[in-house]
């Protein structure tokens, strides 16, 4: 499960042989939560009640815990819980363009905006000598538009490339 997101799992408590009254539940880890039960709850013999356990990892790696139920049964249940937190995916955008045919080109400036018509902000610090660029500073769930300019040896820039290149970054 991606760190900071939640997964819900259905669970069931059953009573066999006699009715059972469950008075409380204690969850040992903040990464797990229990919902769907109001205490006290009496479960008639042969019946069950459903509830939900949610796992919300706060860090990468294995997480574990228990849910201990207090009841009038001689063997009140204790559930073992486990889950694994995984890092959120990271995204980058690889851009490429056709080289300018003008002479004296020393590189390219790359600009990014959130609307196809701009405004655009330069994202490279100095002219990029190649015709590719990787934008590693994108945000999940955002759409970006990119344009480039050719820069000559006098540090003069061409007009923006057209049409803008679009990149849609998936939401988490």
Q: What angle do CA 11, 15, 20 make, to 5 degrees?
A: 110
Same fold, 7-85 and 93-168: yes
Residue 171 pLDDT class (50, 70, 90 cuts): confident
Residue 15 has pLDDT above 90, yes or no: yes
Residue 148's closest CA among 161, 136, 158, 163?
161
Looking at domain 93-168, does it have CATH number 3.30.230.30?
no
Give the chain's count of helices (H) and strands (E). Answer: 0, 13
Per-domain residue ranges of the chain:
7-85, 93-168
Tokens of 6: 């939640």
CATH fold for domain 7-85:
Immunoglobulin-like (2.60.40)
Residue appearing with tokens 């851009």: 95
Name the DSSP class of 72. S
Q: Provide mean pLDDT across the span 90-95.
A: 94
Sign of CA dihedral 118, 121, 123, 125: positive
Q: What is the arithmetic mean of pLDDT over 58-80?
A: 94
Distance of CA 95 to the CA centre of its chain: 24
Q: How many residues belong to the chain?
A: 172
In whole angstroms, give the CA distance from residue 41 to residue 164.
Answer: 61
Is the confidence at residue 156, as pLDDT, over 80? yes
Residue 163: cis peptide before it, omega within 30 degrees of 0: yes
What local confidence, expressed as pLDDT, does residue 55 receive?
Answer: 96
Structure tokens at 59: 């860090």
State pLDDT tens for residues 33-68.
999 999 999 999 999 999 999 999 999 999 999 999
Q: Are 112 and 124 in contact (CB under 8 A)?
A: no
Distance, CA of 137 to CA of 171 (rounded, Å): 15
Q: Is the pLDDT of residue 95 over 80?
A: yes
Share of the chain above pLDDT 70, in %: 99
Q: What is the pLDDT of residue 103?
A: 85
120 in Cβ contact with 149 (< 8 Å): no
């Amino acid at each position: 499960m991606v760190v900071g997101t939640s997964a819900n799992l259905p669970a069931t408590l059953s009573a066999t042989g006699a009715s059972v009254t469950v008075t409380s539940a204690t969850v040992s880890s903040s990464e797990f939560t229990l919902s769907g039960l109001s205490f006290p709850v009496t479960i008639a013999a042969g019946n069950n009640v459903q509830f939900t356990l949610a796992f919300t990892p706060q860090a990468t790696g294995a997480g574990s815990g228990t849910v201990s139920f207090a009841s009038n049964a001689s063997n009140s249940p204790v559930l073992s819980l486990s889950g694994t937190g995984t890092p959120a995916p990271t995204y980058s955008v690889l851009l490429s363009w056709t080289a300018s045919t003008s002479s004296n080109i020393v590189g390219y400036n790359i600009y990014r905006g959130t609307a196809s018509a701009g405004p655009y902000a330069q994202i490279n610090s100095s002219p990029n000598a190649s015709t590719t660029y990787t934008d590693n500073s994108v945000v999940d769930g955002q759409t970006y538009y990119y344009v480039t300019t050719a820069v000559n040896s006098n540090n003069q820039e061409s007009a923006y490339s057209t049409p803008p290149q679009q990149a849609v970054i998936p939401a988490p």
